[in-house]
Chain A
């Protein structure tokens, strides 16, 4: 991660940099398994978590990762702050930076919000999900979980099912997985598959049963009910019938298939109860790994500040 100050997306990372983060995360996972799961590495550093959109997993995961590294953390959520008084994103962030914050973790409903902050601030910016663009740490923890189970990424068939068009998780997964050599198939209703998605190096289909044939990994996305106001599919029931992952459907995949989900789960909609809690599910492992991966990202970005600035 030499010279890198921000993590805005996996699109801009090379294979080597992604692997460096995954390797570091492996070591941080060992730290989390100790009886005192804390190291003094980021002592004296302050990290601000700016969440302009609701989040449980990601916010807690980042906060835990920061605390496990001994950083000081401040949390900011849009409700109950000056944002509700009409303060702009830039003003909010500059004010927080003026309090000597070293890193900012930002979640925002507008795609590109972290990039905008990275341009206008001096501190490091980590994207914790921006609009429909990317969610790089989720992509990294998904890739990490797959690599941990399969020992590699190269050559695996990974199926991503759901609302591909609106999913930042799908985007980050696609970048991460294809850069490491996986064969990625995206599957969903035609209305939720972006036109031209094949240009990212993936296959697209609306036939889930066909997509699942010989799959090593199935990553089920949440149907984002809050982004579904314009009738892109007829009903939840119909979606569930055509694209819900059930035990019967899963039998087409390899017998050591991994079932993943970024959470929160709509049980019985995109994934059936028995698959979500079944033997192939690594959904809770993803959550555990999330802390280790975020520690790795925080650690690797923290070392870049003394890089000489290009003249």
Chain B
């Protein structure tokens, strides 16, 4: 299987702008950063959450705590995908009870990852509210889930693949759309 890129959707600058806007929106919606915590969904949600954290520090001077969530054990397709996928650890070094949790992920698609993340979060405590921030919303939801903060709405077909790259994991920033061709 090979990934063939069809078009670049966002470059480094566009991504930075989207993250800046999302960060402003988070502050606006919550009237500040009080009781706010950020939780990145492994893997690419984590570096995105870290950037939002930096922006919040820059705009509001606030140190918003950042956690990492691994949702593997909460997936609803474990019995269908064959060999058990690698499990990583979650790391939420704070109590989420009573907090406003902003979940951060790279792409919102079927909504199943977010469903798993919600279940996982609730096992850690009872937050006052959970909000969702994504860099790209590509549609095709299979569950009644929507994002509160969206970097870019991107209409796609189900055959297409949206690829988010972040410097921390992939060496560069950018979003592209493409197709996977069976060899």
Residue ranges of A at the interface with B (Cβ–Cβ < 8 Å): 1-3, 20, 23-24, 26-28, 30-31, 34-36, 38-41, 69, 296, 299-307
Q: Given A39-B74, A40-B74, does the pair A303, B89 have CB atoms closer than 8 Å?
A: no
Q: Given A39-B123, A40-B119, A302-B78, does the pair A31, B83 have CB atoms closer than 8 Å?
A: no
Interface SS of chain B: loop
In the complex, B160 has a CB within 8 A of chain A: no
Taking CB atoms and an 8 Å cut-off, the chain B residues in 99-132 that contact chain A are 119-120, 123-125
Q: Which listed residue (A24, A36, A304) contacts B87, Cβ 8 A?
A: A24
A296–B74 Cα gap in the complex (Å)?
A: 15
Interface SS of chain A: loop
Do A27 and B84 touch across chains, with their CB atoms under 8 A apart?
no
15 additional A-B pairs beyond A23-B86, A304-B82, beta carbons within 8 Å, are A24-B86, A27-B88, A30-B90, A31-B73, A35-B125, A39-B120, A40-B74, A41-B73, A299-B84, A301-B84, A302-B79, A303-B85, A304-B84, A306-B80, A306-B82
Do A41 and B83 touch across chains, with their CB atoms under 8 A apart?
no
Residues in A whose Cβ lies below 8 Å from that of B81: 303, 306
In the complex, B70 has a CB within 8 A of chain A: yes
Taking CB atoms and an 8 Å cut-off, the chain B residues in 64-98 that contact chain A are 70, 73-74, 78-91
Do A27 and B87 touch across chains, with their CB atoms under 8 A apart?
yes
Do A39 and B73 touch across chains, with their CB atoms under 8 A apart?
yes
Q: Given A27-B89, A41-B78, does the pair A1, B124 have CB atoms closer than 8 Å?
A: no
Q: Given A31-B73, A306-B80, does the pair A26, B125 have CB atoms closer than 8 Å?
A: no
Residues in B whose Cβ lies below 8 Å from that of A306: 79-82
Do B87 and A28 touch across chains, with their CB atoms under 8 A apart?
yes
Residues in A whose Cβ lies below 8 Å from that of B87: 24, 27-28, 296, 299
User: How far does the Cβ of B169 sit from chain A's closest Cβ, in whole Å?
Assistant: 19
Q: Which listed residue (A2, A23, A69) contacts B83, Cβ 8 A?
A: A2
A20–B125 Cα gap in the complex (Å)?
A: 30
A35–B91 Cα gap in the complex (Å)?
A: 13
User: How far does the Cβ of B111 sit from chain A's closest Cβ, in whole Å?
Assistant: 17
Taking CB atoms and an 8 Å cut-off, the chain B residues in 38-66 that contact chain A are none
User: How far does the Cβ of B80 sit from chain A's closest Cβ, in whole Å?
Assistant: 7
User: How far does the Cβ of A131 sit from chain B's closest Cβ, in whole Å?
Assistant: 29
Residues in B whose Cβ lies below 8 Å from that of A302: 78-79, 84
Q: Which listed residue (A20, A23, A34, A40) contacts B124, Cβ 8 A?
A: A34
Question: Interface centre among A1, A41, A296, by most B CB within 10 Å?
Answer: A41
Do B70 and A27 touch across chains, with their CB atoms under 8 A apart?
yes
User: How far does the Cβ of A193 sit from chain B's closest Cβ, in whole Å?
Assistant: 39
A39–B70 Cα gap in the complex (Å)?
A: 12
User: How far does the Cβ of B35 sit from chain A's closest Cβ, in whole Å?
Assistant: 19
Residues in B whose Cβ lies below 8 Å from that of A299: 73, 84, 87
A199–B73 Cα gap in the complex (Å)?
A: 41
A307–B86 Cα gap in the complex (Å)?
A: 16
Residues in A whose Cβ lies below 8 Å from that of B85: 303
Residues in A whose Cβ lies below 8 Å from that of B70: 27
Q: Given A27-B87, A34-B123, does the pair A303, B78 have CB atoms closer than 8 Å?
A: yes
A306–B78 Cα gap in the complex (Å)?
A: 10
Q: Which listed residue (A28, A40, A41, A303) contacts B82, Cβ 8 A?
A: A303
Residues in A whose Cβ lies below 8 Å from that of B90: 30
